[in-house]
Amino acid sequence: MNASLFSTSAAVALLFGLGGTACLSLPAAAQEPAASAQAAEGSSGDTHIGLIYWPEIAPSSYDAEAAPEDEGVAGARMAVKDNNTTGRFTKQTYALDEVALTEGKSAVDAARDLVGKGIRYLVLALPADDVLAVADAVKGEGKGNEVTIFNTAAPDDRLRGADCRKNVFHVIPSRAMQTDALAQFFTLMRWRKMFLITGPNDNDRLYADAFRASAKKFSLKITAEKPWTFGPLAKARGDTPTRSEAMVFTRGVDYDLAIVADEANDWGDYVPFRTVDPRPVAGTQGLIATTWHPTLETWGAAQAQNRFRRLAGRLMRPLDYQVWAAVRSVGEAATQKKTADPAVLSAYFADPAFSLPAYKGVSLTYRPWDHQLRQPIIVVQPKAMVTVAPEQGFTHQRTPLDTLGVDLPETACKF
């Protein structure tokens, strides 16, 4: 099981946890619950966290699985509530400033506004280019009180590599982490021969690149590659003529598993049960690697699922979880350092002593070399959890979590 690829003899284990000294004893707690999540501006003492996002385009009324309007935002609201419940005992209060972008308002404008109001923590649910633009625009602002940015939606490996920024922390796993999680499972199952099908978008090509790298890392074989050229058939209506060439294009390929690279969800769901040979499908559809799923209930996740459902009236989605983890990073760091001072916390997130408990069975930490959040990745099919990466047997001198994604010796990131 390829463990030898990663095991080294050095037994330097990085211990999770808060380190040995965290001990806080406080006087009688204020019994008055903290102010609501969206406390009024200017109530002094509140730590404000800005959330910038593109609102979902209104879906067709008949779209059964449309993204909810408050996707991500609801996760931030729950996290601010959680921060405030804990803050009752540490005398720290939090407020959320939500900014939905429109055609006329760029992410950079929104970020400058928030920073101008004194906000030092920005949570972005934005594409990679916007993340970079905001990171560069607010760099050096705040005169010693550096602005910290959390990327919750852009999985692009370049943000953790050549285009990394010191003021950005990545909660969402990189594409490399996602495809490594799948590849570890395939290795465990001895499924070796991969048929890679790549969609027409840039993101699809980036996903395919990540998968190729993972295949190489875990000694899987890509026996065939084809582009998807038949359009968004997964979104076609029942009376749309079926593209017969799409049904036969898997003919004559020798493979164990079809890997679909379709981040826009346009056609990947069309492939399962339509391959000529009966083969399972994985990648961006079918068996996927993600951060959250309705069937996740271990490690206390059931409590987060319930709390979220009561708050938002719907199931928690991966983006909700990622935004929640970003906002909780601020709250958790403030509890651990006993201050919400941005000058202290901006340096603390990358400290190995900082850890975030986030319903994954282990404490999560940010990698110092690229600021990516280390995390177990769940591998799920639509109705069930299948496994959790890293798989047993994949070891690493630091933590098995570092078998997922780009490791220190390979990183292209220079802060």
Partner 1 sequence: MSLGFKAGVCVAALVGATMALSASAQAYTVYVTNEKGNTVSVIDTATMAVTGTWKVGRRPRGVTTSKDGKELFVCASDDDRIDVLDTATGKVVRSLRSGPDPEQFILGPGGNPLYVANEDDSQVTVIDIEKNKVLAEVPVGVEPEGMGLSPDGKILVNTSETTNMAHFIDTTTFQVIDNVLVDARPRFAEFTSDGKFLWVSAEVGGTISIIDVAARRVIKKITFKIPGVNDEAIQPVGIRITKDGTKAFAALGPANRIAVIDAKTYEVQKYLPVGQRVWQLAFTPDQKFLFSTNGSSNDVSVVDVEADKVIKSIPVGLLPWGVAVSPN
Contact 127, 153 (CB under 8 A): yes
The span from the CA of 223 to the CA of 258, in Å, is 10
Any contact of residue 11 with partner 1 (CB under 8 A)? no
Any contact of residue 143 with partner 1 (CB under 8 A)? no
Any contact of residue 4 with partner 1 (CB under 8 A)? no
In the complex, minimum distance from the CB of residue 309 to partner 1, in angstroms, rounded to a whole number: 10
Phi and psi dihedrals of 308, rounded to 5?
Answer: -65, -45
Query: Which residue among 145, 363, 381, 397 contacts partner 1 (CB under 8 A)?
Result: 363
Query: Which residue among 265, 339, 397, 399 contacts partner 1 (CB under 8 A)?
Result: 399
Within 13 A of 104's CA, how many CA atoms are on the CB side?
0
The span from the CA of 391 to the CA of 126, in Å, is 30
The span from the CA of 134 to the CA of 386, in Å, is 37
Any contact of residue 313 with partner 1 (CB under 8 A)? no
Any contact of residue 12 with partner 1 (CB under 8 A)? no
Query: Which residue among 9, 10, 12, 27 contacts partner 1 (CB under 8 A)?
Result: 27
Query: Which residue among 355, 372, 375, 387 contacts partner 1 (CB under 8 A)?
Result: 355
Burial of 143 (C-beta count, 10 Å sphere; 0-12/13-18/19+): exposed
Three-state DSSP state, 357? strand
Any contact of residue 38 with partner 1 (CB under 8 A)? no
* Residues 246-305 close enough to bind partner 1 by CB under 8 A: 299-300, 303
Contact 86, 112 (CB under 8 A): no
Which residues have C-beta within 8 Å of that of residue 275, sequence separation ≥ 6?
250, 258, 281
Mask: binding to partner 1, 88-107, rule CB under 8 A, as x and -?
Answer: xxx-----------------
Any contact of residue 311 with partner 1 (CB under 8 A)? no
The span from the CA of 214 to the CA of 222, in Å, is 11
Q: Which residues on neighbouring strands pair with residue 148, listed in sequence order?
A: 121
Q: Which residues on neighbouring strands pair with residue 250, listed in sequence order?
A: none
Phi and psi dihedrals of 88, rounded to 5?
Answer: -55, -35
Any contact of residue 28 with partner 1 (CB under 8 A)? yes
Query: Which residue among 357, 381, 397, 411 contacts partner 1 (CB under 8 A)?
Result: 357
Contact 37, 77 (CB under 8 A): yes
In the complex, minimum distance from the CB of residue 34 to partner 1, in angstroms, rounded to a whole number: 10
The tokens describing 328, both together, are 């909780």
Any contact of residue 1 with partner 1 (CB under 8 A)? no
The tokens describing 389, both together, are 């990466």
Q: Which is nearer to partner 1, 168 or 388 (CB)?
A: 388
Any contact of residue 13 with partner 1 (CB under 8 A)? yes
Q: Which is nearer to partner 1, 141 or 341 (CB)?
A: 341
Query: Which residue among 190, 237, 251, 310 contacts partner 1 (CB under 8 A)?
Result: 310
In the complex, minimum distance from the CB of residue 26 to partner 1, in angstroms, rounded to a whole number: 5
Query: Which residue among 10, 12, 24, 58 contacts partner 1 (CB under 8 A)?
Result: 24
The span from the CA of 160 to the CA of 164, in Å, is 5
Closest CA to 349 of 155, 120, 131, 113: 120
Stretch that binds partner 1, among 8-16, 150-158, 245-253, 314-322 (CB under 8 A): 8-16
Any contact of residue 33 with partner 1 (CB under 8 A)? yes
The residue ranges that bind partner 1 (CB under 8 A) are 13, 15-18, 20, 22-29, 31, 33, 82, 85-86, 88-90, 299-300, 303, 306-307, 310, 335, 355, 357, 361-363, 399-400
